[in-house]
A and B are shown apart, each in its own frame.
Chain A
Amino acid sequence: MARDWAASARMADDYNGSAPVDDAARSIAHEFRRRALPPTSSATLTLLTELLRPASAIEVGTGTGTATLALLRGMPRSGTLTSIDPDGDAQEVARELIVHAGLAGHRVRMITGEPAAVLGRLAERSYDLVVVDAEPELTVELVPHALRRLEDGGVLVVSRALQGGDVADPAVRTPQARALRRMLRELGEQSGLRRLLLPVDEGLLVLRKGEGPSRG
C-alpha cells in the first residue's frame, strides 16, 4: 500500500504538470528555507479557486509565491487576493514571478507582517476563500481567525494539515503532530462546517462555512 501510494503521488505530480514559473518559485523557496506547495496541491488549489470564483481571497504564507500563482490562475480578473507573510524579501520574489507568469492584471495586496496580527485586522465575514500555509503551531492558531473572515459558503484550505504522515501515525508524539490532531478533532466537532480532508502531498484540509444541504 505504502509503495503504491508514493508511486501514485509521483504519477499525479507528473500528470498534473507544473509551469516553469512554478518550478522557479519552488526552487527559490529552498533558498529562503521555505516549503513550497507541490504540483498536485497547486493544481488542486487552482481548480478549487476556479470553481469558487472568489471576489476576495486571503493567502497566509506568500513565501516565494507558489500558492499565490496557483490562486491567481483560478481567480476571476475582478478578484482581489490579499497575501500575508512576515518575509518581505520572499514576497518580492513572488511579485516578480506573478509578472513573469502573466498574472499581473490581478489585484494583489501584499502585506508584510505577522500573520495573526494582520489577519486580525481584516474584516470578518468578507472573504470567499482563505488559504493557510504555515508551521503547525501557527496553523492551529490561525484557523479560527481564518474561519471568522469567511462569508457563509466561503472556503478555507489548510495546507500541510497532515504533516506528511506524522499526524496519521499514532507513534509520532511531537507537539506539532499532537496540535494538528487536536485541531482536526475540534474542527470535526464544530457545527456549521463542511469538511474534506485530502491526503494530497502533506495533506490538504478543505472547510466550507455553512450548514449546506441536509442529508435527509
Chain B
Amino acid sequence: MDELALERTLRAVECIPAGQVAAYGDVGRAAGTSARFAARVLSLYGSTVTWWRVPNARGEMPPALAVRALPHWREEGTPLVGTDAGTGADRSPPRVDMRSARVDLPAFAASVEAALADLPEEDPDAP
C-alpha cells in the first residue's frame, strides 16, 4: 500500500470533528485518493483513528461495527436516524443522519489541506 496515500487518508479521518461524519467518498476526495481506498485503509488501520466518523454515503456501517460505533456516536451527540436507533438487538442497526451530521465539505477540505501541509507531494522513496 502507498504509505503516503495511507498517511493522507488517516489524517483526513482525524480532521472530522466530533459529532460529525464524512462518507468514504468525502474522505477519499479530501485525501486525494478514492472512496474505495479510504474504506480499505479504515478496515486495515482504522483502529487507531476515529473510524466511527466514517460511514458509507447512507450513514450506515457494517452491523458489527455499528454496534461498536453507537457508544461513540451517543457520546459525541452524532445525529442518528430513528428514535429507537439501536435500542434492541432485533432491530436494524442504527445509522447516522447524513443530512445533519455530514461535515461541511469546504471547511473539511480546508482543514485536511492544513493537516497535510507537512507531507511531500509525492513519495520519492515509493517502491
Smallest beta-carbon distance A96→chain B, Å:
11
Q: Which of A2-38 contact B (CB under 8 A)?
A: none
A56 and B118 within 8 A (CB)? no
The residues of B that contact A113 with a CB separation of less than 8 Å are: 115, 118
B48 interface neighbour in A88, A111, A112, A123, Cβ under 8 Å: A123
- In the complex, whether B47 has a CB less than 8 A from a CB of chain A is yes
How far is A121 from B48 in the complex, measured between Cα atoms in Å? 11
- Given A88-B118, A122-B14, decide whether A56 and B47 contact each other with a Cβ distance below 8 A: yes
How far is A122 from B18 in the complex, measured between Cα atoms in Å? 11
- In the complex, whether A80 has a CB less than 8 A from a CB of chain B is yes
- In the complex, whether A176 has a CB less than 8 A from a CB of chain B is no
- In the complex, whether B7 has a CB less than 8 A from a CB of chain A is yes
Q: Which of B77-127 contact A (CB under 8 A)?
A: 115, 118
A interface residues, tally (CB under 8 Å): 14
Smallest beta-carbon distance A72→chain B, Å:
16
Smallest beta-carbon distance B93→chain A, Å:
21
B48 and A127 within 8 A (CB)? yes
A82 and B48 within 8 A (CB)? yes
A121 and B15 within 8 A (CB)? yes
A80 and B45 within 8 A (CB)? yes
- In the complex, whether A173 has a CB less than 8 A from a CB of chain B is no
Q: Quick one: closest B residue to A122, CB to CB?
A: B14
- In the complex, whether A163 has a CB less than 8 A from a CB of chain B is no
Interface size class of B (residues with CB under 8 A): 10 to 19
How far is A126 from B115 in the complex, measured between Cα atoms in Å? 20
- In the complex, whether A109 has a CB less than 8 A from a CB of chain B is yes
B118 and A80 within 8 A (CB)? no
B115 and A121 within 8 A (CB)? yes
A123 interface neighbour in B11, B50, B118, Cβ under 8 Å: B50
- Given A121-B14, A121-B15, A122-B14, decide whether A111 and B118 contact each other with a Cβ distance below 8 A: yes
How far is A111 from B47 in the complex, measured between Cα atoms in Å? 18
What 1/0 flags go to B1-40 for Cβ under 8 Å of A? 0000001001100110000000000000000000000000
The residues of A that contact B10 with a CB separation of less than 8 Å are: 109
The residues of B that contact A56 with a CB separation of less than 8 Å are: 47-48
B49 interface neighbour in A88, A111, A122, Cβ under 8 Å: A122
B47 and A126 within 8 A (CB)? yes
Q: Quick one: closest A residue to B18, CB to CB?
A: A124
Smallest beta-carbon distance B9→chain A, Å:
11
The residues of A that contact B15 with a CB separation of less than 8 Å are: 121
The residues of B that contact A111 with a CB separation of less than 8 Å are: 11, 118
9 A-B pairs with the lowest CB-CB distances in the bound complex, closest first: A112-B118, A121-B14, A56-B48, A123-B50, A126-B48, A123-B49, A88-B118, A123-B48, A109-B7
CB-defined A-B contacts under 8 Å, sample of 10: A56-B48, A82-B48, A109-B7, A111-B11, A113-B115, A121-B11, A122-B14, A123-B14, A123-B49, A126-B48
